[in-house]
């Protein structure tokens, strides 16, 4: 199996390659630089290093969010167009699930999250046990305070993983949640995780692959609100 993995859903740019079932190349940067101009050069360079041509690829796996809207679209557009034009399967994987997989082989609850501004996060709850990585609470957009209250009902220690950990540390401290500490390097999504997780998710027709924004646009939210008001008034 030859597979390409792409993640541009946060500030991290990640590309990984599998060749004959082996992870042969992986690159991540954690820089405030644009993804659009850098993704294809990185992809090209890694493919060259691995002596792979585009037509050697059997499958593409992409982190399709949640995360930065523009960032996610760059990876998703590149991945879906490559998959469509090469006529190979594409597997969209939750960016949170991919980050949560950094915790392997930890046993217990894992909570990956990305900052979503205004004290909110994109997050979900996952669980590792005996090598099985499973979803416990669906990915969502939620205020961090509300989320920690919900997690408190579990009464179990949780490993939090996030590139935006520092921003929400105070809230986590106040929550009284029993937390497991992870080293700094574990908070950065490794694109090779996507290669490992490809088997756990179904392939989707390339035309139908879109980012999982988890939020409607502000314009649409306002429009829906107006529609509702007009309905109530009329």
Partner 1 sequence: MGEFNMTDQIILGIETSCDETAAAIVRNGKEIISNVVASQIESHKRFGGVVPEVASRHHVENITIVVEEAMKQADMTWTDIDAIAVTEGPGLVGALLIGVNAAKAIAFAHQKPLIDVHHIAGHIYANRLEKDFEFPLLALIVSGGHTELVLMQAHGQYEVIGETLDDAAGEAYDKVARILELPYPGGPQIDQLAKEGDPVVDFPRAWLKAGSFDFSFSGLKSSVINYVHNKEQRNEAVDKSIVAASFQESVVDVLVEKTYQAAMKYGVQQVIVAGGVAANSGLRYNIQARFAPSNIPVQIPPLQLCTDNASMIAAAGSIQFEQKQFAGWDLNGNPAKLLTSIHKNLST
Q: Which is nearer to partner 1, 51 or 199 (CB)?
A: 51
Bridge-based pairing of strands 3-7 and 12-19 is antiparallel
Could you give the string, one character per residue 4-43, with x where binding to partner 1 holds by CB under 8 A and - elsewhere?
------------------------------x-xxxxxx-x
Q: Which of 21, 22, 31, 44 binds partner 1 (CB under 8 A)?
A: 44
The yes or no reply on residue 189 touching partner 1 (CB under 8 A) is: no
Q: At what angle do helices 165-175 and 144-152 cross, to 10 degrees?
A: 40
- Number of Cβ within 10 Å of residue 87's Cβ equals 8
The yes or no reply on residue 85 touching partner 1 (CB under 8 A) is: yes
Q: Which is nearer to partner 1, 36 or 152 (CB)?
A: 36
Can you name the residues that pair with 160 across neighbouring β-strands? Answer: 111
Tracing tokens 């850098």 back to the chain, one arrives at: 38
Shortest distance (Å) from residue 50 CB to partner 1: 15
Q: Contact 24/46 with Cβ under 8 angstroms?
A: no
Bridge-based pairing of strands 120-129 and 3-7 is unpaired
Rounded CA-CA distance 171/178 in Å is 13
Q: Which is nearer to partner 1, 29 or 81 (CB)?
A: 81
By residue count, the chain amounts to 234
Q: Which is nearer to partner 1, 180 or 216 (CB)?
A: 216
Q: Which is nearer to partner 1, 69 or 174 (CB)?
A: 69
The yes or no reply on residue 78 touching partner 1 (CB under 8 A) is: yes
Rounded CA-CA distance 145/121 in Å is 10
Q: Which of 63, 177, 198, 206 binds partner 1 (CB under 8 A)?
A: 206
Query: Is the preceding omega at residue 232 within 30 degrees of 0, hence cis?
Result: no
The yes or no reply on residue 186 touching partner 1 (CB under 8 A) is: no
Please report, as ranges, the residues that interact with partner 1 according to CB under 8 A. Answer: 34, 36-41, 43-44, 54-55, 69-70, 73-74, 76-82, 84-86, 206-207, 210-211, 213, 217-220, 223
């Amino acid at each position: 199996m030859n597979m390409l993995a792409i993640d541009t859903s946060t500030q991290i740019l990640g590309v990984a390659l599998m060749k004959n079932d082996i992870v042969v190349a992986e690159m991540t940067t954690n820089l405030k630089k644009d993804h659009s101009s850098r993704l294809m050069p990185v992809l090209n360079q890694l493919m060259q290093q691995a002596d792979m041509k585009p037509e050697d690829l059997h499958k593409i796996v992409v982190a399709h969010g949640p995360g930065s809207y523009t960032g996610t679209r760059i990876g998703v557009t590149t991945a879906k167009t490559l998959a469509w034009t090469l006529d190979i399967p594409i597997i969209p994987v939750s960016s949170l699930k991919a980050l949560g997989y950094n915790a392997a082989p930890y046993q217990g609850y894992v909570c990956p999250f990305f900052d979503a501004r205004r004290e909110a996060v994109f997050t979900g709850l996952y669980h590792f046990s005996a090598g099985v990585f499973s979803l416990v609470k669906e990915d969502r957009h939620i205020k961090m305070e509300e989320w920690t209250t919900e997690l408190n009902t579990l009464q179990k220690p949780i490993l939090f993983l996030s590139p935006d950990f520092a921003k929400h540390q105070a809230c986590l401290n106040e929550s009284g949640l029993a937390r497991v500490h992870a080293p700094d390097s574990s908070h950065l999504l490794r694109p090779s995780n996507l290669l490992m997780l490809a088997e756990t998710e179904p392939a989707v027709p390339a035309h139908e692959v879109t980012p999982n924004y988890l939020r409607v646009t502000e314009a649409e939210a306002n429009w829906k609100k107006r529609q509702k008001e007009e309905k109530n008034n009329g």
